[in-house]
Amino acid sequence: MIIYDQHERIGKWIAERTDGEWREGGKCIGLERNGEIVAGVLYDWFNGSSIYAHIAITTSYIGKEFLRAIFHYPFNQLEAKVIIGLVAEDNKKAQTLDEHLGFKLKTIIPQGHPSGGLFIYTMHKSECRWINEQS
């Protein structure tokens, strides 16, 4: 079941799994199975054009419906032009996930993360196959 209205619950769940931080005002979409959250996206820092997304997944299958939902919100509802993802250099799983979803590595900031470099990924609306395939 996709959850749209439990921002704090999902945001705290994501923060625990990403060494991130839940901040009041963040918007989240979660995926729940058998009463347990198994995936979630936290959006913050929307400036009218770009938005940051933080993703956590603890299952091997999330499904196209969830993927369409998590990209519909920033691109179609907010009308963001680009989603930005920040990934630690040593987090190979997150890098693989972002690239599989269609994000492109734009730059690496050396020493931008406590564990090393900070990878900056982006996805523009025109590049998003999750919303463009259903149009």
Mean pLDDT, to the nearest integer, of 122-128? 96
Domains of the chain: total: 1
Range of the domain at 10: 2-132
pLDDT value for 133: 64
Tell me, what CATH number does 14's domain have?
A: 3.40.630.30
The set of residues, in sequence order, having a beta carbon less than 8 Å from that of 32 and lying 6+ positions away, is 1, 2, 3, 38
| Phi, psi at 115, each rounded to 5° | -95, 5
Per-residue pLDDT reduced to its tens digit, 62-111: 999 999 999 999 999 999 999 999 999 999 999 999 999 999 999 999 99
